[in-house]
């Protein structure tokens, strides 16, 4: 972070501070690390930020109700700097606990009423009853705010002082209840408080409504109803309020602009109607800062801090009021709950530090910087010393702050004991450290199903299951990962090179994350996990989310491999993950006078470290292959090349962070990209953004699934209406969780898919899907040949116009229908995800060999290893994450090839004859096999599903995107052809 002390007229004491660049725009000044508009140009700057989103010419109709707010305008503002609003006037935000008499009236406003009001408002909007729309939605919002504030106050008060509970201390011999006493009092207090303020009949608002209010949906309706009621100021405030939580919505952005430019609503009326009090104080503090009114800066920053900590406490206690799925057992249930609360609490600073549309990373830290500066200016040096020391708690290595401390120390009025940090920050940082260390210690705990905030790679779980004596390397080799050089080959300790850590798919997917980065002076571009979160929050793009998911797993794989390789007593934590690309710098003719490093820096020879250490470690995994250019170079003491390695997707080079290395920047101007991980043995150094990103991905996923879910009966009826028939159920199939359905695919769809395999499949592709090894022979029998297409490959082939768009559409549609049918038939309450999707044909090699005794696919279960004693163990190399399986058959013109369910002694239990459109769905733990295909070709769409979102097959997202792109291209072509006529 840069320094407020650097700004404008410096006190002579500060003259030795470094100066940063000036702001480009002539009406801006620099404060903190941003450029803000000076007073003459003050505006609701978040508005300006949003304008930068729409720098292009747009013409949109913003309303679903017909005639909307229209705007046609070319906006051309250079507003790249991220700025915050400092023009808004504060409002009266604090909702107090209502008085007793009010409570009586209030009790009428039960959550049912909130729902009624909301639904009524929306209905009125649809019926164009603008007055009724506005009045109902206004009441819905105010009742919701009041209710949530009351509940939140109860939680806060009862946590602080549970003595309102009449329960005596609970004591028990039973150990578990000895811990529960305190909780019991809080629970009793909370229940009483809620009963008293909301009435005993109060029912919590259903989560889908909570979501609507949290995403400020009522304001989206309100703005239009106000507009129709000729209340532009209110409309402007409502649309601005909605915008702040939904800035990716371009229609609303245009509305805001419209109110400003067409209806001339003054800037001061663009108010955030949901603004937390501390944000208002913050805005005023910034304004005072620009005006150099130090006394006001102090007073507003102090109020900001006071309100911020209140909000922080509230955020913490509200986390405990969130709805969670809980496990069945007492211990798992309670622990799952705790883990959820923890994840929620971890997010609090992130939520609170979002000011308007921008997240201010070091919000609190900045506040003490402002205070220090302002106190210094009013010559209250003791307070300035206190603020300095407080700041140093956040960042003890800040050179600027250290220098400032020296300057303050030189003042006569300042004594050593004045450098005492504020208690509130000591407490705050302790609570943060507590949360993070709890999260760390719970790392190994696995939440049920989709509730998995701690991510496990298949290889990670494999690692945990193994005893140390087991030959871990050969297991990795089965996945195609193998060591190609180790320390002895590489002249130095702590060096290795391994191949095959990523598949081509993974490389391509991660590569897509690298775009729009800024090049550093030497020609490197760096992508880190902070940027990833920011981008995902700005735009919940499913494809981007999928690529991040791949990255998160990739990090897990490489870390696990590295830990195994070095077998450290203390595990390594990841200190920093980034994607780094090198390409020739703009001044490419000039030769670099430093050695480019894999982490994106460029180091001079004399600055190269001498020491090797096993405490800090780096791995570099390449994201593409290159025949000639871009080598990695291990250097020796004399800075001469020790060994060089070419680039290859998935190749991983590991070395001690202090080791000497460099790289060759491609001469042809192309980018050379790698995933760079730095490790440390100090758990305190762990990169928090990794966990944060996982939690964010998880939340996004839950949101998406929640909005998509529908009642099973409705879906099953829809299937029945479309002709799908359940033909065999548990009883006939001799076990629960099995069914057979017919007419899931049409004849035309079956032929399309079969043609796809026969024409486009790479022989053997996708069967060993961690590492494609083309092989014509079936892994199960030499009498058959395998051909397959994965969903990823289908997407790619369609993208390259090798596969007709319609074929990809059928592939995606049939997969999705099969998934949905399994999810709804089994009445699953958790979303079912694809784990792997494989379209596969088996062809009898020698048609005359009809006496075959072998099986096309031996008896097995899809998620465990069948042992000779008939037990099935959930261990590697089985895909233990798989929960359900389905096969959608595509033809019947072959001999043999019946699917059968089996007993654990491998004998046949019940068999099913494949035919086009027939789907078998079953629990992935059930034994089954396929009889020999004696002649002809048997094709099926094989689908494996998981309840664990971590294993979600991301290729579906990529393929869907490819389909959408192609369809859009087709539409454009048709449109152009039509216009030509």
Binding site for Fe ion (CB under 5 A): 862
CB count within 10 Å of CB 953 equals 23
In 3D space, the residue among 114, 204, 208 whose CA is nearest the CA of residue 709 turns out to be 208
Extract the tokens encoding 681. Answer: 């043995």
Choosing among Fe ion, ligand AKG, none, which partner's interface includes residue 899 (Cβ < 5 to 8 Å by kind)? ligand AKG
Query: Which single residue brings its beta carbon nearest to ligand AKG?
Result: 899
Closest CB to Fe ion among 240 and 879? 879
Closest CB to ligand AKG among 648 and 780? 780
Least distance from ligand AKG to the Cβ atom of residue 856, Å = 8
In 3D space, the residue among 502, 530, 544, 553 whose CA is nearest the CA of residue 674 turns out to be 502
Least distance from ligand AKG to the Cβ atom of residue 546, Å = 25
Closest CB to ligand AKG among 701 and 862? 862
- Three-state DSSP class for residue 657: coil
In 3D space, the residue among 729, 724, 761, 728 whose CA is nearest the CA of residue 746 turns out to be 724
> Are 768 and 805 a contacting pair, CB within 8 Å?
no
933-946/595-596 β-pairing: unpaired
Choosing among ligand AKG, Fe ion, none, which partner's interface includes residue 940 (Cβ < 5 to 8 Å by kind)? ligand AKG
Half-sphere CA count of 781, side-chain side, radius 13 A = 23
- The C-alpha atoms of residue 728 and residue 712 are separated, in whole angstroms, by 19
- The C-alpha atoms of residue 648 and residue 628 are separated, in whole angstroms, by 11
Closest CB to ligand AKG among 675 and 887? 887
Closest CB to Fe ion among 242 and 834? 834
> Are 314 and 159 a contacting pair, CB within 8 Å?
no
> Are 963 and 812 a contacting pair, CB within 8 Å?
yes
> What strands lie across the sheet with 524-528, from one edge to the other?
482-486, 495-499, 652-656, 616-622, 672-680, 573-582, 524-528
Count of helices and strands (H, E) across the chain: 31, 33
Closest CB to ligand AKG among 470 and 854? 854
> Are 612 and 490 a contacting pair, CB within 8 Å?
no
Choosing among Fe ion, ligand AKG, none, which partner's interface includes residue 809 (Cβ < 5 to 8 Å by kind)? none
CA quadruple 548, 552, 553, 557: dihedral sign: positive
Least distance from ligand AKG to the Cβ atom of residue 862, Å = 5
Least distance from ligand AKG to the Cβ atom of residue 503, Å = 20
- The C-alpha atoms of residue 260 and residue 905 are separated, in whole angstroms, by 76
Extract the tokens encoding 70. Answer: 């229209």
Closest CB to Fe ion among 509 and 862? 862
Choosing among ligand AKG, Fe ion, none, which partner's interface includes residue 272 (Cβ < 5 to 8 Å by kind)? none
CA distances from 259 to 44, 57, 233, 483, 765 (A): 13, 17, 8, 63, 57
In 3D space, the residue among 256, 67, 227, 270 whose CA is nearest the CA of residue 134 turns out to be 227
CA 614 distance to own-chain centroid: 32
> Are 737 and 826 a contacting pair, CB within 8 Å?
yes
Choosing among ligand AKG, Fe ion, none, which partner's interface includes residue 894 (Cβ < 5 to 8 Å by kind)? none
Least distance from Fe ion to the Cβ atom of residue 795, Å = 24
Task: Note the helical H segments in 491-579.
Answer: 504-511, 529-538, 542-566
Least distance from Fe ion to the Cβ atom of residue 857, Å = 7
In 3D space, the residue among 672, 580, 700 whose CA is nearest the CA of residue 957 turns out to be 700
CB count within 10 Å of CB 60 equals 17
Least distance from ligand AKG to the Cβ atom of residue 857, Å = 5
Extract the tokens encoding 32. Answer: 């903190």
Choosing among ligand AKG, Fe ion, none, which partner's interface includes residue 930 (Cβ < 5 to 8 Å by kind)? ligand AKG
Least distance from ligand AKG to the Cβ atom of residue 896, Å = 12
Choosing among ligand AKG, Fe ion, none, which partner's interface includes residue 509 (Cβ < 5 to 8 Å by kind)? none
Closest CB to Fe ion among 862 and 883? 862
Q: Any idea which residue has 């001498």 for tokens?
A: 610
Closest CB to ligand AKG among 266 and 858? 858
What are 941's strand-pairing partners? 839, 888
Closest CB to ligand AKG among 346 and 930? 930
Least distance from ligand AKG to the Cβ atom of residue 939, Å = 9
Least distance from ligand AKG to the Cβ atom of residue 900, Å = 9
* Torsion angles phi and psi, residue 886, rounded to 5: -150, 150
- The C-alpha atoms of residue 947 and residue 429 are separated, in whole angstroms, by 36
Burial class of residue 840 (count of CB atoms within 10 Å of its CB; 0-12, 13-18, 19+)? buried
Closest CB to Fe ion among 375 and 826? 826
Choosing among ligand AKG, Fe ion, none, which partner's interface includes residue 948 (Cβ < 5 to 8 Å by kind)? none
Closest CB to ligand AKG among 438 and 777? 777
**Residue ranges binding ligand AKG (CB under 6 A):** 857, 862, 887, 899, 928, 930, 940, 942
- The C-alpha atoms of residue 382 and residue 443 are separated, in whole angstroms, by 43
672-680/616-622 β-pairing: antiparallel
Closest CB to ligand AKG among 496 and 899? 899
- The C-alpha atoms of residue 127 and residue 301 are separated, in whole angstroms, by 47
Extract the tokens encoding 443. Answer: 């790392």
Closest CB to ligand AKG among 509 and 862? 862
Least distance from ligand AKG to the Cβ atom of residue 436, Å = 42
Closest CB to ligand AKG among 648 and 928? 928
Q: Any idea which residue has 């980065």 for tokens?
A: 517
Closest CB to ligand AKG among 203 and 734? 734
Extract the tokens encoding 163. Answer: 């003595």
Closest CB to ligand AKG among 136 and 857? 857
- The C-alpha atoms of residue 447 and residue 791 are separated, in whole angstroms, by 29
Judged by phi (left if over 0) then psi (alpha if -120 to 50, else beta), residue 968 lies in alpha
Choosing among Fe ion, ligand AKG, none, which partner's interface includes residue 146 (Cβ < 5 to 8 Å by kind)? none
Least distance from Fe ion to the Cβ atom of residue 834, Å = 15
Query: Which single residue brings its beta carbon nearest to Fe ion?
Result: 862
Least distance from ligand AKG to the Cβ atom of residue 955, Å = 18
- The C-alpha atoms of residue 279 and residue 244 are separated, in whole angstroms, by 13
Least distance from ligand AKG to the Cβ atom of residue 918, Å = 10
Least distance from Fe ion to the Cβ atom of residue 860, Å = 6
Choosing among ligand AKG, Fe ion, none, which partner's interface includes residue 887 (Cβ < 5 to 8 Å by kind)? ligand AKG
Least distance from ligand AKG to the Cβ atom of residue 76, Å = 58
Extract the tokens encoding 875. Answer: 């261990």
Least distance from Fe ion to the Cβ atom of residue 924, Å = 8
């Amino acid at each position: 972070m840069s320094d407020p002390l650097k700004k404008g007229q410096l006190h002579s004491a500060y003259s030795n501070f470094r100066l940063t660049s000036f702001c480009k725009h002539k009406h801006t000044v620099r404060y903190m690390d941003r450029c803000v508009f000076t007073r003459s140009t003050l505006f609701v700057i978040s508005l300006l930020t949003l304008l930068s989103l729409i720098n292009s010419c747009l013409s949109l109709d913003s309303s679903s109700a017909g005639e909307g707010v229209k705007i046609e305008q070319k906006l051309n503002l250079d507003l790249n700097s991220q700025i915050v609003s400092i023009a808004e006037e504060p409002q009266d935000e604090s909702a107090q606990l209502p008085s007793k008499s009010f409570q009586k009236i209030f009790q009428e406003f039960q959550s049912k009423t909130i729902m009624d009001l909301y639904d009524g408002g929306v209905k009125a909007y649809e019926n164009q009853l603008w007055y009724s729309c506005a009045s109902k939605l206004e009441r819905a919002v105010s009742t919701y705010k009041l209710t949530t504030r009351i509940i939140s106050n109860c939680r806060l008060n009862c946590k602080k002082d549970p003595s309102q509970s009449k329960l005596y201390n609970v004591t028990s011999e039973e150990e578990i209840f000895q811990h529960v006493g305190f909780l019991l009092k809080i629970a009793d207090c909370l229940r009483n408080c809620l009963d008293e303020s909301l009435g005993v009949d109060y029912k919590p608002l259903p989560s889908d409504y909570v979501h609507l209010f949290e995403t400020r949906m009522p304001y989206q309706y309100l703005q239009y109803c106000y507009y129709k009621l000729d209340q532009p100021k209110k409309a402007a405030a409502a649309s601005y309020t909605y915008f702040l939580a939904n800035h990716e919505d371009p229609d609303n952005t245009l509305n805001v602009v419209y109110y400003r430019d067409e209806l001339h609503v003054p800037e001061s009326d663009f108010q955030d109607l949901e603004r937390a009090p501390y944000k208002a104080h913050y805005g005023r503090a910034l304004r005072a800062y620009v005006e150099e009114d130090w006394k006001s800066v102090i007073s507003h920053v102090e109020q900001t801090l006071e309100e911020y900590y209140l909000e922080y406490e509230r955020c913490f206690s509200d986390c405990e009021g969130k709805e969670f799925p809980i496990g069945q057992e007492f211990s798992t249930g309670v622990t799952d709950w705790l883990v959820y609360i923890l994840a929620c609490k971890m997010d609090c600073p992130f939520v609170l530090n979002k000011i308007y549309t921008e997240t201010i990373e070091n919000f609190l830290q900045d506040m003490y910087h402002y205070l220090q500066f302002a106190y210094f200016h009013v010559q209250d040096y003791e307070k300035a010393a206190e603020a300095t020391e407080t700041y140093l708690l956040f960042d003890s290595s800040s050179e600027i702050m250290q220098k400032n401390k020296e300057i303050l120390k030189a003042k006569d009025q300042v004594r050593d004991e004045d450098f005492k940090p504020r208690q509130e920050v000591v407490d705050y940082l302790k609570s943060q450290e507590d949360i993070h260390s709890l999260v760390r210690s719970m790392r190994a705990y696995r939440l049920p199903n989709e509730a998995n905030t701690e991510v496990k790679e298949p290889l990670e779980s494999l690692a945990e299951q193994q005893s140390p004596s087991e030959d871990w390397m050969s297991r990795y080799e089965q996945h195609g990962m193998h060591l190609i050089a180790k320390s002895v080959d590489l002249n130095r300790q702590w060096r290795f090179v391994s191949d095959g850590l990523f598949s081509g798919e993974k490389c391509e997917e991660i590569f897509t994350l690298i775009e729009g980065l800024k090049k550093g002076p030497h020609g490197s571009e760096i992508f880190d996990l902070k940027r990833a979160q920011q981008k995902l929050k700005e735009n919940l793009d499913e494809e981007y989310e999928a690529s991040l998911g791949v990255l998160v797993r990739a990090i897990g794989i490489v870390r696990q491999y590295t830990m195994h390789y070095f077998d450290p007593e203390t595990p390594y934590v990841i200190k920093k993950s980034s994607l780094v690309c090198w390409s020739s710098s703009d001044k490419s003719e000039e030769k670099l006078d430093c050695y480019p490093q894999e982490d994106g820096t460029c180091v001079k020879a004399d600055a190269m470290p001498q020491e090797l250490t096993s405490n800090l470690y780096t791995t570099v995994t390449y994201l593409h292959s290159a025949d000639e250019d871009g080598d990695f170079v291990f250097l020796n003491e004399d800075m001469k090349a020790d060994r060089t390695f070419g680039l290859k997707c998935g190749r991983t080079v590991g070395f001690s962070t202090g080791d000497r290395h460099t790289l060759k920047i491609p001469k042809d101007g192309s980018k050379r990209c790698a995933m760079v991980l730095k490790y440390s043995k100090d758990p305190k150094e762990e990169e928090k953004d990794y966990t944060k990103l996982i939690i964010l991905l998880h939340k996004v996923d839950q949101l998406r699934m929640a909005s998509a879910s529908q009642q099973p009966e409705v879906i099953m009826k829809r299937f029945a209406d479309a002709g799908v028939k359940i033909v065999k159920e548990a009883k006939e199939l001799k076990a629960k969780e099995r069914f057979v359905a017919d007419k899931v695919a049409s004849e035309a769809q079956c032929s399309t898919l079969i043609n796809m395999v026969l024409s486009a499949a790479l022989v053997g592709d996708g069967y060993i899907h961690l590492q494609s090894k083309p092989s014509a022979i079936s892994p199960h029998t030499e009498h058959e040949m395998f051909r397959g297409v994965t969903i990823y490959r289908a997407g790619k082939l369609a993208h390259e116009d090798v596969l007709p768009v319609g074929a990809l559409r059928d592939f995606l549609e049939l997969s999705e229908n099969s998934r949905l049918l399994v999810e709804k038939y089994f009445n699953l309450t958790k979303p079912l995800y694809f784990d792997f999707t494989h379209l596969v044909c088996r062809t009898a090699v020698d048609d005359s060999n009809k006496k075959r005794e072998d099986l096309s696919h031996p008896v097995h279960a899809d998620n465990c290893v069948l042992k000779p004693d008939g037990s099935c163990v959930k261990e590697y190399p089985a895909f233990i994450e798989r929960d359900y399986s389905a096969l959608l058959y595509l033809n019947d013109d072959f001999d043999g090839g019946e699917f059968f369910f089996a007993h654990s002694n491998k004998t046949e239990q019940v068999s099913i004859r494949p035919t086009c459109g027939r789907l078998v769905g079953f629990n992935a733990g059930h034994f089954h096999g396929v009889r020999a295909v004696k002649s002809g070709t048997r094709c099926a769409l094989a689908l494996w599903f998981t309840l664990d979102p971590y294993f979600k097959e991301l290729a579906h997202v990529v393929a869907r995107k490819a389909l959408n792109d192609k369809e859009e291209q087709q539409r454009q072509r048709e449109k152009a052809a039509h216009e030509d006529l």
